[in-house]
Structure 1
Amino acid sequence: MNICYIILAHENPQQVSRLVNRLNEPWTTFYIHIDKNVLMDPFEAPFLNNKKVTFLKSNYRESGIWGDIGIVKATLNAMRKCLRENKPDIFILLSGQDYPLKNNQFIYDHFYNNKDVNYIDKYPMPMKMWENGGLKRINRYKINKSKKRGHITFLPSIFDRDFYSLETVGKINFLRKTGKIKHLLKVLKKRKFPSYLKPFGGSVYFALPVETVENIIEFVDTHPDYLTYHHYTLSADEIFFHSIIGYLNAKENLKIEPSLTYVNWRKKNGPPPLTFELEDYEELKTASNNFLFARKFNINLDKKILDKCDNDLLK
């Protein structure tokens, strides 16, 4: 059985290298996407002669602005390239700030014994854990005011009651002043989630059998409007794949279980999710009873937590 790790990264080349080396086995391949806005050379340097590690280049690279469609496109690009070149049994999506909670043999055995299971959080929208159930994400046009994290605005269409407000006037004036006038044409059309599937949402990170990935690619190719629609969705990566799998599940009754990546959304300091430090080791140890991976870590903030995981969890 072969595992393809798709890794999306934008910083800390040393940490990405450590993650790949930790997961590297005869049965693994790695397809790594580095944010288009970041210099790629430092990430590639440790793997120049490693044929198991492929970096997406040129037109395969996408901009990773927070909450934007780039993460979805990057994931699709990696899926397509890996299918053409390797066609593994399992695709696992990680970020460059993830780390395993179980050793490689345990991970292999788990997927070997559960080859047909789709590990992805999938909740019907509206979702209780998201503001407004997440409906604003799919019923309003998300416009980037800049490339800064969270610097966005939601624009209703002329068919929505809240279009007719002073707030909307302010938003339109801002877009006009900042040269984003083209987005205003969108307000002439009511934004609706595509009628041929139902919206589902959940955590970004998943592990999927190759058959599911092939079906996802086929769906995207036969419904190009679906990808276009999500250009104006906030955090489309938390909805895009989940809704397709919901569609596939209705047709094929897939085996679906929760994501195997542990994330703590409790805000400690700074924007969530929690960045784990050495003091959080016991939490990670407990999480390892149910999860194979965790995020997020920052090698510049606390390297010792990764060392602790290596020495105590990943023997």
Structure 2
Amino acid sequence: MHAFLLLVHTDPALCGLLTGRLAVTGPVFVHVDARADEDPFRKACPQAVFVQNRVRVRWGGWGQTEATLRLIETALTEPEVRRVSLLSGQHYPIVPDARLTPGPLTDRIAALPAPDPARGKPESRFTERFLAAGRPGSASAVLAAGIGRRLPALDPAQALGGRRLFAGSPYFSLTRSTAAQVVAAARTDAALRRYFRAVVSSDEAFFHTVVGNLDGVHLDTRGTTYATWSGGRHPQPLTPGDLEPAAAEGFLYARKFSSADQALLHAAQALAE
């Protein structure tokens, strides 16, 4: 059974549409940012299972990684779940339902060697300490960033315990065995956890580093999700014209959607038919 994990904080209506689409393929598990009201999401997504012990999620902080780990742990309590796929609440499939599940032995995650400045992953991202404080660009966040850069540099090699560093898009589709090993690493390796708690956007490197160092995995590093970027912290809104080329490239989902953009949703739905 293929389970879908959703990280949401806004747009309950889109969450409802997405959950309804995914539930045709498998169960849906939802984590609502602890800073958001959960009730609208529960009303919009009655068929979903909600993570009970929610966490506050701030841009760049460990909260995103912790919320993902709790989603995985919740899904793996169901013994029939053989695969988990992570999405945000602004995702939507761009391929038919039958294509959403990779091969039974395949772990699909953009676990690419890091640092890699060409992909926006310079060495400083893994050596400078990140202090989460307020929203990005706020006075408190700018102050915390300045303080972080003046703290002693992190030593990835020492923290990783012989592992190589990998990073990439935070969205993935993992087999049950691989997902369980990721959770085990997070919960038992204190040095690994301390290191990734201290770097910016740990969700773009923690899972990738653990999976990239596992033996015997069948790794597909293309990632699952198409998005367009213009150098900022968040992906740009999509246009209907983006979707067909993205599906042709092999992406399973695109981001980011909005329940208000009916034309974009209709274009995505047409690709599933």
**Corresponding residue for 1:165?**
none
Q: Is the 8 A contact 1:67 1:150 kept in 2?
A: no
Match of 1:71 among 64, 69, 79: 64
Letter in 2 for 1:200: F
Match of 1:275 among 233, 237, 250: 237
**Corresponding residue for 1:314?**
272
Q: Is the 8 A contact 1:142 1:153 kept in 2?
A: no
Structure 1: distance between partners of 2:184 and 2:234: 34
1:125-182 deviations in whole A, cap 9, x for unaligned? 1113345x432222111123x32124435989xxxxxxxxxxxxxx45xxxxxxxxxx
Structure 1 residue 303 and structure 2 residue 267: aligned? no
What percentage of residue pairs aligned between the two structures are identical? 25
Structure 2: distance between partners of 1:154 and 1:236: 20
Structure 2: distance between partners of 1:80 and 1:120: 18
- SS of equivalent to 2:99: helix
Question: Structure 1 residues 257 and 230, CA, compared in 2 at 3 Å: closer, same or farther?
Answer: closer
Structure 1 residue 149 and structure 2 residue 107: aligned? no
Larger radius of gyration: 1
Q: Which runs of 5+ in 2 are unaligned?
A: none
Structure 1 residue 126 and structure 2 residue 92: aligned? no
Residue 92 of structure 1 and its aligned partner are, at CA, apart by: 0.5
Structure 2: distance between partners of 1:257 and 1:202: 9
Structure 1 residue 56 and structure 2 residue 45: aligned? no
Structure 2: distance between partners of 1:150 and 1:71: 18
Residue 210 of structure 1 and its aligned partner are, at CA, apart by: 0.9
Q: Is the 8 A contact 2:126 2:199 kept in 1?
A: yes
| Equivalent pairs, count | 267
Structure 1: distance between partners of 2:119 and 2:99: 33
Residue 115 of structure 1 and its aligned partner are, at CA, apart by: 0.9
**Corresponding residue for 1:138?**
126
TM-score scaled by length of structure 1: 0.78
Structure 1 residue 192 and structure 2 residue 185: aligned? no
Letter in 2 for 1:85: E
Structure 2: distance between partners of 1:191 and 1:17: 41
Structure 1 residue 258 and structure 2 residue 222: aligned? yes
Q: Is the 8 A contact 1:121 1:257 kept in 2?
A: yes
Residue 261 of structure 1 and its aligned partner are, at CA, apart by: 1.1
CA RMSD of aligned residues (A): 2.4
Question: Structure 1 residues 138 and 106, CA, compared in 2 at 3 Å: closer, same or farther?
Answer: closer
Q: Which runs of 5+ in 1 are unaligned?
A: 157-170, 173-182
210-219 or 80-89: bigger deviation? 80-89
Residue 28 of structure 1 and its aligned partner are, at CA, apart by: 0.4
Q: Is the 8 A contact 2:91 2:253 kept in 1?
A: yes
Residue 42 of structure 1 and its aligned partner are, at CA, apart by: 0.3
**Corresponding residue for 1:35?**
33
Describe how 1:137-216 pairs up with structure 2 within 5 A.
137-144=125-132, 146-151=133-138, 152=141, 171-172=146-147, 187=151, 190-193=153-156, 194-196=159-161, 197-216=163-182
191-200 or 5-14: bigger deviation? 191-200
Q: Is the 8 A contact 1:36 1:61 kept in 2?
A: yes
**Corresponding residue for 1:83?**
76
Structure 2: distance between partners of 1:91 and 1:78: 9
Letter in 1 for 2:108: Y
Q: Is the 8 A contact 1:10 1:35 kept in 2?
A: yes
